[in-house]
Amino acid sequence: MELREAIKGRRSIRKFKSTEIPRSLLEEILAEARWSPSWGNTQPWELYVITGPPLGELKRLNKEKSLSGELPAPDVPMPEKWPEAMKGRYGELGRIVLDTLGIPREDKEARNRYYLGMTGLFDAPCLLLACVPRDLRMEYAMLDIGLIVQTVCLLAHDRGLGSCIMAAAVLYPDLLRSIAGIPDDRRVVVGVALGYPDDAYPLNNFARPRAKMEDFARWVD
């Protein structure tokens, strides 16, 4: 696949078929993703690949925690405030998602059902958890993780797989630690749901808005 086609064609997939991803394919993708850049070539990432029964257990307990109202305690704090322009775009995404699913804003129950689906990782047959050493300064480690995660998503797309980068997958890191055997001295940064996309699902098809190039490029010449 052309790089440009892959960059534009990759999109967040929010419903997956139950088909398992062959281990050899995941290995290929991860081996290629090693060529991602990182600060001083430190390659600070560790990717946990969770599938099969442990993933089923993770989804079940994740859902249970969310339903019980347990407060999320992610290793990387969630943003609490957004500058106006970003707040607007975030709100717009929420509106598009609800409209696409035909959920009226005031239908709290249907909204909650959707968010609960997120705790079940949109039925993905595979979850990657991207981790970094806890004692590493966060800022550049986050950048390095972003680079490898996007590389994985593009490589997955090239192989016909869908992905969704998910902060919602790492809200309860102690659960992830116990299921995946992640040591305490690692920070669980973000999850990536992976699987074959359910192409007919409306949320896998809506038109995604983007700011114009002129809105973010500043020319100095």
Ligand X SMILES: Cc1cc2nc3c(=O)[nH]c(=O)nc-3n(C[C@H](O)[C@H](O)[C@H](O)COP(=O)(O)O)c2cc1C
Which positions lie near ligand X, rule CB under 6 A?
11-12, 14, 93, 118, 164-168, 190, 208
Whichever of 27 and 88 has its CB closer to ligand X, that residue is 88
Give the single-character DSSP code of 38: -
As measured in angstroms, the least distance from the Cβ of 167 to ligand X is 4
State the residue for tokens 């290995």: 27
Taking CA atoms, 164 is separated from 99, 127, 169, 178, 189, in Å, by 20, 10, 10, 23, 14
Q: Which of 97, 90, 112, 108 is nearest to 203 (CA)?
A: 97
3-state secondary structure of 61: helix
Whichever of 126 and 165 has its CB closer to ligand X, that residue is 165
- Token pair belonging to 207: 């038109």
As measured in angstroms, the least distance from the Cβ of 179 to ligand X is 18
As measured in angstroms, the least distance from the Cβ of 164 to ligand X is 5
Whichever of 21 and 203 has its CB closer to ligand X, that residue is 203
As measured in angstroms, the least distance from the Cβ of 193 to ligand X is 9
Whichever of 38 and 150 has its CB closer to ligand X, that residue is 150
Whichever of 202 and 220 has its CB closer to ligand X, that residue is 202
- Token pair belonging to 89: 């775009």
Confirm if 21 and 51 have CB atoms less than 8 A apart: yes
Confirm if 120 and 133 have CB atoms less than 8 A apart: no
Whichever of 51 and 62 has its CB closer to ligand X, that residue is 62
As measured in angstroms, the least distance from the Cβ of 220 to ligand X is 27
Q: Which of 146, 153, 145 is nearest to 194 (CA)?
A: 153
As measured in angstroms, the least distance from the Cβ of 150 to ligand X is 8
Question: Alpha-carbon distance 74 to 182, whole Å?
Answer: 14
Q: Give the CB-nearest residue to ligand X.
A: 168
| Cβ within 8 Å of residue 51, ≥6 positions away | 20, 21, 125, 126, 127
